[in-house]
A and B are shown apart, each in its own frame.
Chain A
Amino acid sequence: MSGPGAGQGPPTRRHRSAARDIERYTALFASRTRVMKSSAMRDLMALTEQPEVISLAGGWPDTSTFPPDSYAALMSMVASQSCSRALQYGPTDGLGLVKRCITEVMLAEGIEVDPDELLVTTGGQQVIDLVCKTLLDPGDVVVCEAPTYPGAVPAFCAYEADVVQVTMDRDGMRVDELRRVLDELDAAGRRPKFIYTVPTFHNPAGVTLSLERRHELVEIATERELIVLEDNPYGLLRYEGSPLPPLRALGDEFVIYASTFSKILSPGVRLGWAAAPGPVLEKMNIGKQASDLCSSSISQYFVGAYFESRPWEEYVRSLIEIYRRRRDVMLDALAEHFPREATWTHPEGGLFIWATLPDYIDTTDLLARALDENVAFVPGRAAFLDGRGGSSLRLNFSGVAEAEIREGIRRLGEVVSEQVALYGTLTGSRPARQPAAPEPRRPAVPAAPEPRRQAVSGEAPPVAGERLADVLRLPRKRA
């Protein structure tokens, strides 16, 4: 990167010729690195970080509301009370004081947990990594939702999992399809190692697994002795409706529960946790030793001080107020500016809305066009490993101010409408194809939205004739 004095320092890279460079490194790379996430998507996403771009692509909570004074006071408390310990290594499974905070948070979610069942991790992301590390041999099957959390994809890929994605609808993962998939796998003599799910306020789909399906899922896991990795980073960010019990509260034998302080306090502390059956936890602990010995002691003392200094729920409540308004603004803007060929989910909480466009629009290409208008989102393909999702996109409302959400969706709506119209022109007078999901019509008054909900299917049926061979074939089935 450029910057003052960029040219003054000594050369940072040793020089070697290009052809030899390639030869040298190719031989060194593990075969699993060949199937990592695409560089095309990465290159496009890099542009979303430009300052002039309204980025609805992030997954960021809004940390600007955290008072700097409180931060300073907490850090000085850590300095005065626990300086040497905060600067020291800690136990791999985490400090007792943080585990006490975690039991409080989990209780608020409806789960009673023993501190011994907890592993403090470096963000919730590390739980996904450690579960993969602990359970997966190359080629092992992992079942997850379609779409799935885009951040889990690199983990599945790195451990060379064979990922099977199960369709979702407005009630979350379709458990009937899950049963079918498991039966098929069973018939083929394959047993998945675990089922990865974000049951509450799904990232990216924005839907929540119904109570009935929660019971069913836990039942399936217990019956078949399969582990469910329940990823629940957003559960406390509910903007409407009544809370549903986490899977872990319905049965803890085969559920690994993952959560994080990222969304209720700060992603900057990089602290999450896992609650898991003892033998699994033990193996994860060994895996964590290899990864980072322990999570940051400074962060753990900071969290401890924070929970001691005030009721932690207050800040969460303030975040809920902010995010609820932002979600509503985004839903209104979508109703106002998106063409009627589009559908989207209505999340009761969390950070994301998942929109699906007519199947002839490729959202990776659309992103290039949207960047011209300085607005960005995550193309749906990022959430699939099997090539689906090409017409969908993920929109984040938590990290962007209301006025920007309005403007961003307006610009995006314009670009989408433009493409819908162009397709109409190209196919003659035929009306644009309708998407797969049945949908109520757009309300006349966008201020009181009864938003169209969508089934979160992977993709609409293909256009007549063969499907396009996508040049940007980002995800591959074999992770």
Chain B
Amino acid sequence: MLRIAVLKGGRSLERQVSLRSGARVQDALERLGHRVTAIDVGADLVQRLREAEPEIAFIALHGRDGEDGTVQELLEAMGIVYTGSGVSACIRAADKVLAKHAMRDRGIPTPEFYAFSETAFRALGAAEALPAIEERLSFPIVVKPAAQGSALGIKFARSPADVPQALVAAFSYDRKVLLERYVRGRDLAVSVLEDAGAPRALPVVEAVPVGRDEQPFYDFEARYEIGRTRFDCPAELDEETSGRAAELALAVYSLLGCSGFARVDLMLDAQDGELYVLEADTVPGLTETSLLPQAADAAGIDFDGLVDRVLAAAMATR
């Protein structure tokens, strides 16, 4: 039996999702016989952690602070062991631009992109370069904030006239945004779970929007609403493609230095049949509709087993 603090909620835009992830984790840990204190992360976090004196913190936070290394750094400073990836992996994964550069440098396929800070537009006249970028990426172009976890702030620009507006929207979420080539195809996710000391790729999940043909994109709403999206797990893929997806996910996992668990999102290009990695998520959702629990389920690992493994991986690092 361990004294565990479950960190959830917080001020990120994914607060509600995190509360749901956290509640499920809390239940699972109790069933596993641990003593759990749930903490809705706020200004009194340090004080509450001191009071709770946990042997380990289970981070069920998504988005800013919880997933970008901030809370991890704080826990390091307090000498508290925590689940999931360490500070540097979180920083690299939460910033899509850093992650994509790392992938590109390593030869892992990721859709072509350009990233800019607000300063580049304000002070360096980056707007002048937009036509050249648009030509390179060709429309439609995906415009997204560098650091937003869910699909919030992601826009499709279908023509040059759409781009400024899409950039303004993306800059609502972050000081850095990226313009990315749109990959038309199937939306896949490979979750990685550390099992007996080694990262293991779980079966591929495919997200298929239900009855919304006009929607080219797996959006924020669908992601969390039961009945809005059909999940196929394992996804109907030929052996070679699912093997390649697993291989890429594990490569990204190790490239970014993740630990415990993570989820890697990919697109299977309908045109050339190639897989492209979009991003990695170091604290994947753990709600009823989240992809990681579904993938684990398909691999014969129930939710308690999943939580237990994440915990064990973290304890092994002390």
Contacts and interface: CB of A to CB of B under 8 A. Distances in A.
A132 to B, nearest CB: 22
Nearest to B128: A428
Contacts of B35: 7
B165 A468 contact: yes
Contacts of A33: 227
Contacts of B157: 468
> Across chains A and B, which 8 residue pairs bring their CB atoms closest together, nearest first?
A465-B161, A7-B36, A426-B164, A18-B293, A369-B172, A2-B38, A365-B172, A365-B169
B266 interface: no
Interface stretch (A41-49, A62-70, A73-81, A393-401): A41-49
A467 B169 CA distance: 14
A26 B224 CA distance: 13
A468 B156 CA distance: 7
Contact of B217 (A40, A427, A471): A471
Contacts of A474: 221
B164 A25 contact: no
B164 A470 contact: no
B255 interface: no
Contacts of B161: 463-466
Given A366-B172, A422-B168, A465-B162, 10 more contacts: A2-B40, A18-B288, A22-B289, A34-B227, A43-B16, A360-B164, A365-B168, A365-B169, A368-B153, A422-B171
B227 A25 contact: yes
Interface stretch (B26-34, B84-92, B240-248): B26-34
Nearest to A424: B164
B167 to A, nearest CB: 6
A371 B36 CA distance: 31
A23 B296 CA distance: 16
A2 B152 contact: no
Contacts of B40: 1-2
Contacts of B158: 465-466, 468-469
Question: Range of interface residues on chain A?
Answer: 35 or more
Interface string B8-31: 110101111101000110111011
A425 B225 CA distance: 38
A107 interface: no
Interface stretch (A8-16, A197-205, A235-243, A275-283): A8-16
A470 B28 contact: no
Contact of B159 (A7, A360, A465, A472): A465
Nearest to A18: B293
A21 interface: yes
Contacts of A39: 16, 220-221, 224-225
Contacts of A13: 23-24, 27
Nearest to B210: A34
Contact of A472 (B39, B130, B219): B219
B73 interface: no
Contacts of B233: 19
Interface string A99-120: 0000000000000000000000
